Amino acid sequence: MNSHSPSELYRGVKILHDPLRNKGTAYTDAERDYLKLRGLLPPRVHSPAEQELRVLGNIRAKPTDLERYLYLVALQDRNETLFYRVVMHNIEEMMPLIYTPTVGKACQEFQHIFRTPRGFHVSLQDRGQIKEYLQNWPHKETRIIVVTDGERILGLGDLGADGMGIPIGKLALYTACSGIHPTHCMPVMLDVGTNNETLLNDPLYNGLERRRVRGEEYDELVEEFITAVNDAFPGVLIQLEDFGNTNAFRLLEKYRDRVCLFNDDIQGTGAVAVAGIIGALRITGGKLSEQKILFLGAGEAGIGIADTFVAALVENGIPPEQARKQCWFVDTKGLLVADRGDIPEHKRPYAHEHPYIANFLDAVNTLRPTAILGLSGQPGHFTKDAVAAMATINDRPIVFALSNPTSKAECTAAQAYTWSDGRAIFASGSPFDPVKLGNRVFVPGQGNNAYIFPGVGLGVIVSGARTVTAEMFLAAAHSLANQVTEADLERGRVYPPLGQIRKVSALIAREVARIAYARGLTNKEEPADIMADIHEYMYHPVYPHYA
């Protein structure tokens, strides 16, 4: 469907209603004759730059970010090329609108703002027929799927079918940040019900009106889906997104070696956070092997970061058991220690021998970590006392408040810098504005997974890798950290500017592809120039010519 040779079906008004082919007022005079558009458009031909100017004016005139989000969604639905041109040329302004934090609000309101269907819905009602229904998807060249069951949307919890905004947003970032063609992307909602009473009582809710299923019925649906999409799109890359802890870890373990699949909340978050820590050490002068990390929150993100950090230490010759002892967790029950009862399987490697500590501040003062990482979804839990304690223990404390969206951050950038007298090295999951403190201006780093998953996905797709390995994510972390400049570090930034995201993604993709070729994870022959192969694949939002 991404052919640009219009048949009679796509002439006249029909081509104006096809977002992949629509050029709006940018059709040339010759194209208007050829496509039978005379009288259907205003007479003036506008350049793409002029169209972009109009879009930016409309966006900036909107009173709220949610309304800006809705405008951009509507643009994507009518003119996909222009949508990506605007996003790519203005990525730092647009990313918070098409993804976190605005996408969180959009998901919370999804049933009320629903307009044009986008993506593919699989529900319990479709059991036994998923393979057949996949034939309805128009893009047979699908190369990547982002799928969620909506149970743990950002830090907002169970949003059921309203979580569809997350796969849609993630795939928009795949295209904008790494150039994966829009027709190669498939957002999927796996609707197994919801335990959100507000949604179940809302007559406008779009999902199944039932509580979540678990156990065998759930597993059978997932199995049918995984099998069906691999039959329909052989070798497709599947990204698991915002599944609850109950399912996220076990589904990753079940399928990671069987199909081309990864979990961004576990592996992508792990890579981006470790990259930030490596960047922070270029400021502190410390060594990775000397770091002791205290996590607030022991879910997918926290465990994923710890696993990646441990892998980085093992790469440096430290035994895994010793490396894990440099990671400590405080969850809803206090410090994770070995003699606590009923510890979930995914937490057990990090349950160390130590007296129990009830709260986070006491854990900071007792364990004396070099870094605190917040992944709890609990705003304000990095208190003034906790940050001040970190600044007493460390000359340059690492304080990463990574919970999304912004409203869920454990502390703000201004709080971290102020409470540490400007000595904290801060990063967050969602964006914060620069902070002026005395004569200095600090630019907070945004530990956004968009620095990692688009590049990993691009490298997997271009190389034709059959699986996604932990080594690939560790390589992605190193590649990202290496792209932070001294100028970035001087401003307190431990990640490159978002404006460089396509370059960042391409370099990560190169490292991922190298691993795929070196480890024999692909049937494709290694090209003479991997980077040239990557750039040749990458999509650019340029209008086709029809006449």
Query: Could you tell me which residues come within 8 angstroms of residue 509 by beta carbon, excluding any fewer than 6 positions away?
Result: 178, 455, 456, 458, 459, 462, 534
- Does the pTM exceed 0.75? yes
User: Rounded to an integer, what distance in angstroms lies between the CA atom of residue 83 and that of residue 76?
Assistant: 5
Q: State the pLDDT confidence band at 1, using cuts at 50, 70 and 90.
A: very low
pLDDT class for 342, splitting at 50, 70, 90? confident
Among the listed residues 316, 204, 201, 301, the one whose alpha carbon sits nearest the alpha carbon of residue 243: 301
Q: Look at residue 165 in the predicted model and tell me its pLDDT.
A: 97
Residue 41, pLDDT > 50, answer: yes
Angle, vertex CA 257, rays to CA 518 and CA 125, nearest 5: 140
Query: Domain locations in the chain?
Result: 8-97, 98-259, 267-449
Nearest to 31 by CA among 5, 2, 55: 5
Per residue in 202-224, pLDDT (tens digit) is: 999 999 999 999 999 999 999 99
Please report which confidence band the pLDDT of residue 477 belongs to, taking 50, 70 and 90 as the band edges.
very high
User: Is residue 306's pLDDT more than 70?
Assistant: yes
Residue 294 has pLDDT above 80, yes or no: yes
Alpha helices per DSSP H over 373-412 = 384-393
Core vs surface per residue 163-179: b (16+ CB within 10 A) or e: bbbbbbbbbbbbbbbbb
Tens of pLDDT, residue by residue over 311-327, are 999 999 999 999 999 99
DSSP secondary structure string, 292-336? -EEEE--SHHHHHHHHHHHHHHHHTT--HHHHHTTEEEEETTEE-
Q: How large is the average pLDDT for residues 366-371?
A: 98
Lowest average pLDDT, out of 99-103, 170-174, 528-532, goes to 99-103
**Residues with catalytic roles:** 99, 170
Q: Which of 58-62, 92-96, 302-306, 405-409 has the lowest mean pLDDT?
A: 405-409
Task: Name the pLDDT band for 334 (thresholds 50, 70, 90).
Answer: very high
pLDDT, mean over the chain: 96
- Nearest residue to 333 via CA among 359, 300, 368: 359
Are the beta carbons of 167 and 119 closer than 8 angstroms? yes
Domain 98-259 shares a fold with domain 267-449: yes
**pLDDT of the residue at 10:** 83
CA atoms within 13 A on the CB side of 97: 24
Q: Which of 48, 53, 45 is nearest to 25 (CA)?
A: 45
C-alpha count within 13 angstroms, C-beta hemisphere, residue 334: 13
The class of domain 8-97 in CATH terms is: mainly alpha
Q: Which CATH class is domain 267-449?
A: alpha beta
Per-residue tokens: 125: 């009602």
Q: Is it true that the peptide bond before 101 is cis, omega within 30 degrees of 0?
A: yes
Give residue 341's pLDDT.
84
Q: Looking at the DSSP assignment, which residues form a beta bridge with residue 457?
A: none
The span from the CA of 108 to the CA of 186, in Å, is 22
pLDDT band at 5 (very low <50, low <70, confident <90, very high): low
Provide the sign of the torsion angle of the four alpha carbons 263, 268, 273, 274, taken in this order.
positive
CA atoms within 13 A on the CB side of 360: 27
At 156, the pLDDT band (50, 70, 90 cuts) reads very high
Q: How confident is the model at residue 2 (pLDDT cuts 50, 70, 90)?
A: very low
| Per-residue pLDDT at 155 | 86
Residue 218, H or E segment: helix 216-232
CATH architecture of 98-259: 3-Layer(aba) Sandwich (3.40)
Joined together, the tokens standing for residue 170 give 């993630």
State the alpha helices, DSSP H only, in 325-431: 360-367, 384-393, 413-419
Model confidence band, residue 7 (pLDDT cutoffs 50, 70, 90)? low
Q: How much is the pLDDT for 3?
A: 44
Give the strands of the sheet with 237-240, arranged side by side. Answer: 120-123, 185-191, 144-148, 237-240, 261-263
Q: What percent of the chain has pLDDT over 70?
A: 98
Can you read off the two tokens belonging to residue 82? 């222009």
In percent, the amount of the chain with pLDDT more than 90 equals 95
Q: The tokens 């980077």 sit on which residue?
A: 531
